[in-house]
Structures are given as C-alpha cells and as structure tokens.
Amino acid sequence: MYNTYFGLQESPFSITPDPCYLYMSERHREALAHLLYGIQEGNGFVQLTGEVGTGKTTICRSLLLQLPDHVDVALILNPRLSPEELLAEICDELQLDYDRDTDSLKHVVDVLNNHLLDMHAKGRRVVLVIDESQNLRIDVLEQIRLLTNLETETQKLLQIILIGQPELGTLLAREDLRQLAQRMTARYHLMPLSRGEMESYIKHRLAIAGTHRSLFKPSAVRLIQRITGGVPRRINILCDRALLGAYVLGKDSVDIGTVRRAAREVDGNLPRHTPWSTLVPVAAAVGILLSAAVVWTQLPAPDAEVHATALSDLAAALPPPQLAPVDVTTVSESTTDASPWATLSAQLPSSDRAESVVEPEIDLSEVLTHPADPDAVFQQVFARWEIQYSVAGSGDVCDIALAHGLNCLEGNGTWSTIRQYDRPTLLHLRHDDGTKEYVLVTSVQPRQVTIQRGTDEFTLSYQALERVWFGRFLVFWRPPIEVTRIIKQGQRGADVLWLRKQLDHVDGIDHSVAHSTLFDAALTRRVQDFQRHHHLDPDGAVGARTLIQLKSAVADSTIPRLLPNPEQV
C-alpha cells in the first residue's frame, strides 16, 4: 500500500529471492565468483554456506541467470529425498525418459550417464544445484558422491553445487563422509552485511524499486543494523514494516522511533501500541471517505445519487478493523487531525485505495485438478504469435518455434524476470504429488498473474502460484531478421547497423544518418548503459536477453505482451 505514497514502482523489501534486487557486496561477489569458478573448472563439488537469510538462494538464482547457454541445470529445492527419489528428480529436471516403475538404481544411473556422455560429446555441461543441502540424508550424500564418478578420462560429467546453512559444513565434517568432503574444490561461507554495506543495500533496493530518495534517516539505519545483525532477510522484513509505519503515520521518511515500533511488531512481542497493519484499513477508509466527501460536495446535483451509492458500496466492502485495545490519546491524535489522511488519499490512485478489500484467494487444488494437455498449452502460446501449432507429428516445441521465426528461451527466474521479458510465458509447475505441467501466463499485474489452462483463465496472486512454481519458464520471442549471432565488439555487419539504429530509437536520436557497421568501443558503452538501465549484466555483448529488451523498448504492435503498460517493466 505504501508504494505510491513513497513514489515506488513495486515493494523494495520483498523477502522473495529476486536476482534483479541482488546487492553485490564484496562478500556476495566472492560467493558468486566461487560458484562460477567451480562450474568453469568442472571438477568435484562446490559448497556455499551461510546463516538463514544471508542471501544464499538469491545468489543461486542470480547464478542460474548468468550461466552460459551451453550449461544445463538440474535444480533440487526439496532435498528431503531418498537416493531413488533424488535420481528420479534429477532425471525429471533434465527431462530424461526412464522407467518410472523400476526399483533399480542402476537403470536410472545408466540413463543419466548416457545423457551426460551425450551432452559432453555436444560440448554441453550439466550442473546439479541442491539448495537446503543441510537437510540431505547420509545415504543420499553418498549417492551424490557416487555421481561424481560419472566421468571421462579428463573431465567430470556432472558438476555439483551444494548450498545450505552452516550445519552443512558440520555434516560434511563427519568421518563417514570424508571421501565426499575431499572432493570439494571450492568452499565459501556467506557472512552478514557490514553497516556500510547495509546502508548501500537499502539504497540499492529503493533505487531498483523506483526512487533515489533517502527514505531512512541515518539514525534509523544504525538501529536497523543493530537489530538485524546485517542479515538481508531480517533487514527486508524490518524495513518493509518500518515503511508501512511511516506511511500510516503520514511521515516522509523512517525515523528511529518508527524502526523501534516496527521491530516490536516484527519480533512478535505484544506491541505497546496498536500494530500498523491493523490501522491500515482504518487509515485507508478514513482517507477514502474524506476525499470522497470533498468530491461529493463539488459534483453537480444529478450525479449525487450515483456517487453516494458507489461510496456506500465501497464502505460496505471494506473489512471491519480488527483492532487491539488502544490508548485513547493515540486514537484522538489520529482522528482530530484529518488533513494528513485527506492529503494521502488524494495522492493514491483508486487501485491503492481499494487495497483493503480482500479478494478471496483461488484454491489451487480445486483449479489444477489434473495436468493440462501440453499440446493444448503450446497451441495457446503459438496462437498469441498468430502461428498455427499442429499437434499431429509435432516434434520439439522449440524446433517448431524456430521454423516459424521464433526463438525459444528456457531458464530459471522470478516474477521480475517474467515482467522483464514481457512476452507470453510458459511456467513449469510442480505439484505436491510429483506431477508437472506447463501453464501459459497471459497477463501480469503488480500483485497478480493471469494464467490460461485450456479454455479456462484464472487470476492468482504471486504467492499462490509460487506454491507450485519454482522459477522454471519457457518464453518465445522473435529476433530481428538481421541478427543471427551474439553481437559484440570487433564485429562488422548488418546486425551491427541494426543495433545502432535500434539504440537511436531508444535514445530518441535521428537514425536517418549514415552509420558504421563496426561494433566499436563507443557502441559497447552504449550497450552497457542500456543493459544497466534494464537490470541486465552489463557485459556489452548483445545476446538473447538484451535483444528482447531492445525489441521491447520500441513500440511494435506485432509483439504480444504481458504488461498493459510497457513502463512497468
């Protein structure tokens, strides 16, 4: 609710891991470098540990987004598995066919080994990433060790990354796991942020969310450091609650008193005052009623009855406040001076004013009763591109897309990733019973997403869908006909000329003048500026992700979009 009040495009302190918000402190850079080094070397295990909330999963997701195109990833998020279940999960992640009814470990290992040899022959690399590895059983860890025996004469066929809490280090120090521990080629323990890093961290997240204002006073930042110990997740929770408090109290920034009260609520202790979350519906209702009353007095008489009815319906829709006993003086201070709330209400758009109306959440178990037919889903996404998808004799969906001039991009990401691509996207869902399916995302709103399954469409909150979506997606996009390679410095050709003209469009520069076909250092800097603006890796090379953003930056009615307003990207 406070986003519009503070000029933010989205909530800056969500605890959902989002690589777009990754703040690369010196410690985080070192951690990511260790993971990338381990993958490049291709030998043994890589271990990343850290306390709860220090950013391990966020670094993992950032790693997945930065992997080269020739690397395939099997991501295990729930490691509480038996050895048989682990091998089956790895094969499922790599989309391998195997006998699901067999009890033979050898059969599944042979299928996996044959796939790894095939990928090695094609110049591809396979990486297994296991999050929350401290929960792995001893027999599962032994099976993981045995997987590293899958090798050629010169190279391991499977690179394994174990991510977990400090207990992982203790677990691997066991005498009976010494063979596994000896195969670790890189280890890193992620520490909390220092005070200086934490201040930069807060500013960084606010900037990504859309503001460069100093919303936290220096004294408030120092107190946040003392309370959270520099742990990013705890920082996010406390800062989010403190911004809510500043919003409710009508303040333009967070001071030390606001942080103290937020800390009491976050810690779960009985607050001395009414929690802000219980005051938000009251504040919104008061603001709406006051601003509506002002509007009513200015309306012509014929429309008065209509607006009175609308106001009555809105008031009836607001949930009754569930207030704890409050101090009478606190209430009187909030109600006698109504002008801050009237001002606040006038600044809020109608969508934010109605946030106190709680829409009933759709029960996924009732909606997703059985996996959707993959061909039906593929037909739906191709139809968005006005392409006929033929079920009969259909091969690999990406090959079919390529035959129609579409490229296929598969990866792991977050809702920010989906919004950034802004194309109809297939989400790979994994249900509690082990079944998997694709669903088509047709629209993305600030807090909700619309998915299509067959002839039905459902609008769900991000949180509801995250119960079965763990980041894997498949998106189709149409590259420019001039571009058939990754464009980078030193190259010449029509694709470089197209790049220059596209950047001119974006920058509002007259592109009718003659351009060089050489990709020089100046063009590299322009590409890097564009990449930074769109939260891409500023490497100066124009690959799939940069091309998608370049195409999105110029109005094109032939591109099907997810966002009603491209500026939301």
Domains of the chain, start order: 26-190 (3.40.50.300), 193-272 (1.10.8.60), 278-358 (no CATH), 364-477 (3.90.70.10), 494-559 (1.10.101.10)
434-443 — which CB contacts under 8 Å span 24+ positions?
A: 435/371, 436/92, 436/371, 437/368, 437/371, 437/372, 437/374, 437/377, 438/372, 438/374, 438/377, 438/378, 438/474, 439/372, 439/377, 440/377, 440/380, 440/381, 441/562, 442/384, 442/562, 443/562, 443/564
Pick the more confident residue, 344 or 430: 430
In this prediction, residue 525 carries a pLDDT of 92
**pLDDT value at position 391?**
66
Place of tokens 């009732």: 366
pLDDT, greater one: 180 or 237: 237
End-to-end CA distance of the chain: 19
pLDDT of 433 higher than 80: no
Report pLDDT for 237: 93
What is the Cα–Cα distance from 218 to 210, expressed in whole angstroms?
20
**Residue ranges in 355-452 assigned as alpha helix (H):** 364-367, 374-384, 397-403, 415-421
Q: Which of 364, 361, 469 is nearest to 425 (CA)?
A: 469
Return all residues near 556 (Cβ < 8 A) that are at least 6 apart.
Answer: none
Q: What is the pLDDT of residue 333?
A: 33
Q: Report the pLDDT averaged over residues 508-536.
A: 83
In the block, which residue shows the tokens 């306390």?
51
C-alpha–C-alpha distance, residues 101 and 95, integer Å? 16
Percent of the chain with pLDDT over 90: 20
Give me the pLDDT at residue 408, please. Answer: 87
CB contact set of 533 (below 8 Å; sequence gap of 6+): none
Mean pLDDT across the chain, nearest whole number? 77
At 224, the pLDDT band (50, 70, 90 cuts) reads very high
Whether residue 305 has pLDDT greater than 50: no
- Give residue 30's pLDDT band: very low, low, confident or very high (50, 70, 90): confident
Rounded mean pLDDT, 51-70? 81
Predicted TM-score (pTM) of the model is: 0.49
pLDDT on residue 514: 63
C-beta separation of 5 from 347 below 8 A: yes
The maximal CA–CA distance of the chain, rounded, in angstroms, is: 88
Q: Does the structure show a pLDDT above 60 at 510?
A: yes
Least confident of 305-319, 374-388, 441-455, 502-516: 305-319
- Looking at the DSSP assignment, which residues form a beta bridge with residue 186? 46
Residue 299 scores a pLDDT above 50: no
Mean pLDDT of 250-260: 92
Give the side-chain half-sphere CA count within 13 A for 44. 14
161 φ, ψ (degrees, to nearest 5): -120, 120
pLDDT reported for residue 243: 95
The pLDDT of 437-443, averaged and rounded, is 89
In this predicted structure, the answer to whether residue 185 has a pLDDT above a threshold of 80 is no
Question: Which range among 43-52, 71-80, 343-352 shows the weakest confidence by mean pLDDT?
Answer: 343-352
Report the b/e string of 259-298 with b at 16+ CB within 10 A.
bebbbbbbeeeeeeebbbeebbbbbbbbbbbbbbeeeeee
